Structure 1
Amino acid sequence: MQNLVIILILVISIITDLRDRKILNIVTLPSIIAAFIYHFFTSGVEGFLYSGQGFLAGLGMLIIPFLMGGIGAGDVKLLAAIGAWNGTFFIFYTSIYAGIIGGLIALLILLKRRELVFTLKRMLFSVAFIKSAKGYLVIKDDVHGSFSIPYAIPIALGALLTFLMETFQ
């Protein structure tokens, strides 16, 4: 049942993320609550703690990218919901796979747009600027040439790879 719930959450999140660039609270928040209730009734306090640890792991994996502005709150809540259902082990591998897949997608987009070299130079300049400014950084809001990835896709693919890994172990 858990895997079916996660698949449903991921499918809905992919659709809304592609269509509206949002992962809806009406999907993630009830699924988090349902996971806590399900695990509590099936395994008692241990199940509740299992769900809580997975929730916190999912939240923790994306909280820093969210605070830095690199990812949306819906993505964080989606990973936290998956963690609440399937625990920390599942979230750890899902996060690793999602990060690799998201990075590959970004790399392909940069190559297609012929912006890889420019982006690498900009990143190196930013690192040098942070070092020379002794930690002070002013970020100019520049949307020209920027792009974003609907991160529900890498999360879903990461979860799929984790499902497959668990199946073949």
Structure 2
Amino acid sequence: MVDLHITDLAIATLFIGLLCVAAGSDIADLRIPNRISVALAALYPFHVVASTGDVDWQGALMVALLSFAVGALGFMGGFVGGGDVKLFAAVALWCGPAGIFDLIILTGVIGGLLGLVMVTRLRFVLAWSFQAVGATVVRNAFLRHVIPYGVAIAVAGFIVAGRPLMTFGR
């Protein structure tokens, strides 16, 4: 039987909800508002305090800072957007040292799959499929020539950090 704590549920719901908002915002207009990344980072101390197990918050903080520093170099080189850098650093905080490599690999794989879709005719099939169900914002994202990489970060973040949060009380 799962020992469900309301605090765990609230933290998991907020974390996953913020990832969804970040992905949706990136799909809609290729921007991830700073407030989303800040909210993710600000929620983390509540997770640390509420957690029933040991949380390597110092290691997680170092991973987040290193992720931000490396991402900032990518931003300065024009390889990645600033919102993506901040979102990745905030998610890296949640993944910590134990999950950072999984986050990096999954973000790359998911982003690569999005890239493959964008260079094939599949993007047009998907675009018009979303149009058919009234999801014009998603349709427009597939018709652009830019990949909303925040989607890859959010999905990878859910897989690496979000799913473990759903094991309430462990």
How far off is 1:154 after superposition? 0.9
Q: Partner residue of 1:161?
A: 159
Q: 1:155 and 1:7, CA in 2 relative to 1: closer, same or farther beyond 3 A?
A: same
Q: Partner residue of 2:129?
A: none
- Partner residue of 1:11 out of 15, 20, 37: 20
Kept in 1, the 8 Å contact 2:63–2:93? The answer is: yes
**Distance of 1:21 and 1:11 partners within structure 2:** 14
**Distance of 2:66 and 2:50 partners within structure 1:** 21
Kept in 2, the 8 Å contact 1:57–1:88? The answer is: no
Q: 1:158 and 1:31, CA in 2 relative to 1: closer, same or farther beyond 3 A?
A: closer
SS at match of 2:120: helix
Kept in 2, the 8 Å contact 1:54–1:88? The answer is: yes
- Partner residue of 1:147 out of 134, 145, 148: 145
Percent of aligned pairs with the same amino acid: 25
Stretch of structure 1 that moved more, 99-108 or 51-60: 51-60
Q: How many residues align?
A: 133
**Distance of 1:163 and 1:81 partners within structure 2:** 11
Kept in 2, the 8 Å contact 1:61–1:95? The answer is: no
Kept in 2, the 8 Å contact 1:106–1:149? The answer is: yes
**Distance of 2:112 and 2:63 partners within structure 1:** 24
Matched, 1:93 2:91: no
Kept in 1, the 8 Å contact 2:16–2:162? The answer is: no
**With structure 1 as the length reference, what TM-score do the two structures score?**
0.62
Kept in 2, the 8 Å contact 1:94–1:162? The answer is: yes
**CA-to-aligned-CA distance 1:98-123 (integer Å, 9 cap, x gap):** 1111112212222339xxxxxxxxxx
SS at match of 2:146: coil
**With structure 2 as the length reference, what TM-score do the two structures score?**
0.62
Stretch of structure 1 that moved more, 69-78 or 59-68: 59-68
**Distance of 1:103 and 1:87 partners within structure 2:** 23
Unmatched tracts of structure 2, length 5 or more: 1-7, 123-143
Q: Partner residue of 2:130?
A: none
Stretch of structure 1 that moved more, 1-10 or 14-23: 1-10
Unmatched tracts of structure 1, length 5 or more: 114-145
Q: Partner residue of 2:114?
A: 105
* Paired AA for residue 39 in structure 1: V
Q: Which has the higher contact order (CA 8 A, sep 6+)?
A: 2
Q: 1:15 and 1:90, CA in 2 relative to 1: closer, same or farther beyond 3 A?
A: same
* Paired AA for residue 150 in structure 1: P
* Paired AA for residue 152 in structure 2: P
**Distance of 1:37 and 1:5 partners within structure 2:** 11
